[in-house]
Amino acid sequence: MEEAGKTVNMSRKISRRRFIKRTGAAVGVATAAPAVRAQRAQRSATGGRPFDRRTRIALTVNGAAHEIAVEDRWTLAELLRDHLNLTGTKIGCDRGECGACTVLVDGKPVYSCSQLAVWADGKSVQTVEGLTGQVGDGLPASARADLMRASASPLSALQQSFINHDAPQCGFCTSGQLMSATALLAVNAHPSADEARAAMTGNICRCSNYNHYVAATVAASQRSTQNSQNSQNRQNQNVSADSAISALNVVGDTRSQNASAGSAISALHVVGHATPRIDAEQRVSGKAIYTADVKLPGMLYARVLRSPHPHARIKRIDDSKARALPGVKAIITHETCRVVWGAGSIAGGQQYNDEMKRITKQRRYAFNNPVRFAGEPVAAVAAVDRHVAEDALQLIAVDYEILPHVLDQEEAMKPDAVKIWPDGNVSLNNRNEAQPISQRRGDVDAGFKSADHVFEDRFTTAFVHNAQMEPRSAVAHWEGDKLTVYTPTGGIANCRSDIARDLEMPPEKVRVVCQYMGGNFGNKNQNQDADLIAAVLAKEAGAPVKLELSRNEDFIGVHGRWPTTQYYKVGLKDDGTLTAIQLRGYSGMGPYRKNTGAIGGVDVYQCPNTETVVYPVYTNKTVSGNFRGPEYPQGFFGMQSMMDEVAFRMKMDPVDFILKNMTRKFRDETPYTSYSLDECIRRGMEAFDWKKKWHSAGAGQGPIKRGSGVAFLSFRAGLGRSNAVIRLDASGKYTVHVGVTDVGAGAKTTMALIAAEALGVPLSKIEVVWGDTDRCPYSVGESGSRTTIMTGDAVVAAAQDLKNQIAEKGLPRGNDVLLASASPNPQLEGKVRNTFGAHFAEVEVDAELGRVRVMKYVAVHDCGRVINPLTAMSQIKGGALMGIGMALHEDLLYDPRSGVALNAGYYGDRVLTHRDAPEIDVIFIESDDGYGPFGAKSMGEASKIPAVAAVANAIFNATGRRMKDLPITRDKILSGFEARNSGLEVQR
């Protein structure tokens, strides 16, 4: 990077992305995609008897003897889940990459997805269900005795410890974590944290609650004697705040701080106390029912055939052989299923609705022709079991005319790039114009003219997959003209209206149910094509249909964070005051516009002249969509890396630069409802020891280098409206009906706490009804970090309504009930309501081995009042760890010539494991701005946003080399090697 006027270009080396562009352009038309999964069909036709020979086996499961005839091709996981109804064992990847399916076989943890059921003949198997009550026979006697000591509780000491530490967030990985930890404790009663990490490292947690899983496991043995006391608390359904707080202390966290930026906040009697989730027991015992656990009588199993080509016209589909396969009940293709998937392509990329249905002309169907990305659905089959459905896919012959493709967003902007849509590759906005997303303030040209220094640089970010532990799935069931869809959605109400709109049905004829959900992280506040495909197949077959996506399909067939190219130009005065910021960006949307494609980050600086122009560009990669803070983690990486570099060039401490230039009013104009950025940074510096740790960039001698980085946060949650209904009966039970699904963040518990506080009753009196459109009123859905604010506000208002009614009518008696409801529409009166934060990271870089480790991490957040410090802690830690993964690892990599993703899945995408996760120190700065329920602000997305930049800036501080392209992998750390070793022959 050089100051403008001297040299503007900063990338001397050929980046990977550029290489892709070159080769992609060169061979685009000519290259036929190789056989990917879908196309292998033709090669390996089924050997297929549909109803396979069975082998009789005898095994012990959780102490009970079973004799059962199994198909040789059933996995052990399949036997447990589908045939013994032990659905606590989850399938996250079906490839031995994630650990959700971990069970104990003869006392040892194994991936049950990667063992055959026939191989378990004569074995003793223990599942999560076996931890509760009857204690595992697979364990040594001493371990069994330890577990039995917890007999006052139906839960093991470990399960109880998991609850106390809020180890499960979405809960989908929890059974596996429990089994690995149980096996560890059986052989090592007092493991260290590192021993726990090693034992559980085969268990991925995408909520990234690794700190709490480890702490819970380490504490379990120490706490076993206290266990009965804790479980007693829990059984009383009381706020076991004491045990939870002590659990937090064990974790070593900084507890919620009431030191506030403005007004000190008052203590409340339920809200603000660390409280285990009200459904925690379900999450640690395998009782929580996720979509794939739903089993209906006569249910069929569906599979989807996907395009192996990134861009192709389907000339012919011959499914006659598949139809002839015994057990196949329905097949649909683009020829037979003309259902529009409205939420899959929206002009402008905002929330889908009737108006957008009218406007959107770049339509996406459940099945499209041409197909526009490798992984796009081509056909779907429903059959009597999952294997027959898979066999049938192999028998569908598809004749493709291969079209040229383009993968990179900048390449797609070139005049000679292949047009993915007739309108061109700039995605249409909500007026159907091919225009960029633009925002201007002041006069940037004048701003640059008045600057003493002008800097320019370019940053790129990768396609990063949400990778939530629960693969997408749907179970569709028609009863007459009423359709019930079980599906993992964070917005049951929007999902229902989307399904109704797409299937042209009245919304009241659609019921959407989501009781437990294995992670959200974005783009689940609408329907999915899986919902539609399952519904159409179920209609066609006349039977309920379950469609479960494989992990690979979830990666390549759904969506991830949009990759970006960001060009910045920044002007400033000699004293470091900003005069102008300009961003020109390109976001790769895939071939449909599911979401906006914006790049956010400019607005968090105080600067009179700014210009942001971002092009959402169509490419033939997997579709991009919202992922935790949709436009921010990548935007903050670019913007705050840029500003860190500017501070370096100006010879300023990055913290001083931030304090000088950070936002104080929204876009320098609109006041915030409360403001605490100075406080966040001050507290973070102290906790991190910034003044001592930060040094001049690349100053360290020797190959092992330490460095410190900082990034800050100002974030505005989404808006929306929600309703709540509270019912009080004569027994004194308050039933709160809210349209949340609890994606893992703890919304159900949050709503219960808010209700208890607002009603002035103990938590034990509250019951929550959630996750079912037939039983819950509208909620805006769990997206945009707004559930606590919006639905929580409605709960407060409904509670007020109920209190008014009680005051008027008295408490209900006999068979009477009181029913209260609210649909508030909170207004901010000309203010902007943001949350604030600062992240500080210290990394160790081994400059010879290219290894980067995060050694210390402090995350300071002002999320207003913290409703539940226990779950809030999990949210912040998880977000920060996800950000570290985005900084260092994650990138869905495409083969330039074939346009096929190469590294889909937890193994290939290098998602963080237990061993990768550092401890995250969390500091809450609480405030009450008078809005939201008790002053609560948003939290979930915010915690990821500054993390990527903080880590990247720390690497700069350590090495003196600016990392401009995500992810910061080993090859980038070690690059520059060619210069040092010129003369080395490289094969091309």
Partner 1 sequence: MKSFRNVNPRDVRHAVTLMQQARGAGQDATIAGGGSDVLGMMKERLITPDVLVNLKAIKGLDEVKAENGPGRGVAIGGLITLDALSTHPLIRRQYGVLAEAAADVATPQIRNVATLAGNVCQRPWCWYYRNGFKCYKNGGDTCYSFAGENQFHAIFGGGPSYIVHPSDTAPALVALDATFRIVGPAGERVVPAAEFFTLPRVNAAHENILKDDEALASITLPASSAGMRSTYHKIMDREAWTHAVVSAAVVLHMNKDVCSRAAIVLGGVAPIPWRVPEAEKLLVGKRITPDIAAQAGEAAVAGARPLAKNAYKVPLTQAMVRRTIEALVATA
Calpha distance 377→496 (Å, rounded): 22
Place of tokens 């406007």: 359
Nearer to partner 1, 478 or 907 (CB): 907
3-state SS string for 834-890:
EEEEEEEEEEEEECCCCEEEEEEEEEEEECECCCCHHHHHHHHHHHHHHHHHHHHCC
The minimum distance between CB 381 and partner 1, in angstroms, equals 16
The minimum distance between CB 320 and partner 1, in angstroms, equals 20
The minimum distance between CB 767 and partner 1, in angstroms, equals 38
Residue whose C-alpha is closest to residue 277's, from 723, 727, 770: 770
Cβ burial, residue 326 (10 Å; 0-12/13-18/19+): exposed
Place of tokens 């659990």: 247
Calpha distance 785→771 (Å, rounded): 18
Calpha distance 139→126 (Å, rounded): 9
The minimum distance between CB 730 and partner 1, in angstroms, equals 52
| CB neighbour list of residue 957: distance below 8 Å, 6 or more residues apart | 694, 695, 697, 698, 707, 708, 709
Nearer to partner 1, 827 or 981 (CB): 981
The minimum distance between CB 386 and partner 1, in angstroms, equals 10
| CB neighbour list of residue 601: distance below 8 Å, 6 or more residues apart | 583, 632, 635, 636, 638, 639, 640
Helix axes 193-200, 210-223, angle to 10 degrees: 120
Helix (H) or strand (E) holding 109: strand 108-111
The minimum distance between CB 912 and partner 1, in angstroms, equals 7
Nearer to partner 1, 176 or 635 (CB): 176
Calpha distance 36→541 (Å, rounded): 29
Q: Is the separation of the CB atoms in 95 and 905 below 8 Å?
A: yes
Q: Is the separation of the CB atoms in 187 and 142 below 8 Å?
A: no
Nearer to partner 1, 82 or 767 (CB): 82
Nearer to partner 1, 445 or 848 (CB): 848
Q: Is the separation of the CB atoms in 705 and 959 below 8 Å?
A: yes
Other Cβ atoms closer than 10 A to 984: 8
The minimum distance between CB 945 and partner 1, in angstroms, equals 23
The minimum distance between CB 694 and partner 1, in angstroms, equals 26
Calpha distance 943→274 (Å, rounded): 19
Is residue 732 helix, strand or coil?
Answer: coil
The minimum distance between CB 983 and partner 1, in angstroms, equals 12
The minimum distance between CB 44 and partner 1, in angstroms, equals 4
| Ordered DSSP codes for 739-773 | -----SS-HHHHHHHHHHHHHT--GGGEEEE-SBT
Is residue 725 helix, strand or coil?
Answer: strand
- Six-digit token pair at 53? 């020979």
Residue whose C-alpha is closest to residue 755's, from 724, 776, 729, 723: 724
Segments in 224-290 forming alpha helices (H)? 227-235, 241-251, 280-285
The minimum distance between CB 67 and partner 1, in angstroms, equals 17
The minimum distance between CB 57 and partner 1, in angstroms, equals 10
The minimum distance between CB 814 and partner 1, in angstroms, equals 56
Nearer to partner 1, 152 or 849 (CB): 849
The minimum distance between CB 501 and partner 1, in angstroms, equals 36
Other Cβ atoms closer than 10 A to 339: 18
Calpha distance 552→154 (Å, rounded): 37
Nearer to partner 1, 46 or 227 (CB): 46
Nearer to partner 1, 758 or 912 (CB): 912
Q: Is the separation of the CB atoms in 576 and 592 below 8 Å?
A: no
Nearer to partner 1, 273 or 897 (CB): 897
The minimum distance between CB 33 and partner 1, in angstroms, equals 9
Nearer to partner 1, 344 or 967 (CB): 967
The minimum distance between CB 290 and partner 1, in angstroms, equals 21
The minimum distance between CB 588 and partner 1, in angstroms, equals 17
Nearer to partner 1, 751 or 841 (CB): 841
Nearer to partner 1, 659 or 974 (CB): 974
Nearer to partner 1, 117 or 617 (CB): 117
Helix (H) or strand (E) holding 642: helix 632-649
Calpha distance 183→111 (Å, rounded): 13
Nearer to partner 1, 199 or 789 (CB): 199
Residue 27 DSSP symbol: H
Q: Is the separation of the CB atoms in 880 and 628 below 8 Å?
A: no
Calpha distance 561→587 (Å, rounded): 10
Place of tokens 């069970």: 103
Nearer to partner 1, 39 or 673 (CB): 39
Q: Is the separation of the CB atoms in 795 and 738 below 8 Å?
A: yes
Q: Is the separation of the CB atoms in 224 and 485 below 8 Å?
A: no
Residue whose C-alpha is closest to residue 203's, from 168, 248, 156, 161: 168
Place of tokens 């994650």: 890
Nearer to partner 1, 388 or 499 (CB): 388
Nearer to partner 1, 179 or 288 (CB): 179
The minimum distance between CB 913 and partner 1, in angstroms, equals 5
Nearer to partner 1, 105 or 241 (CB): 105
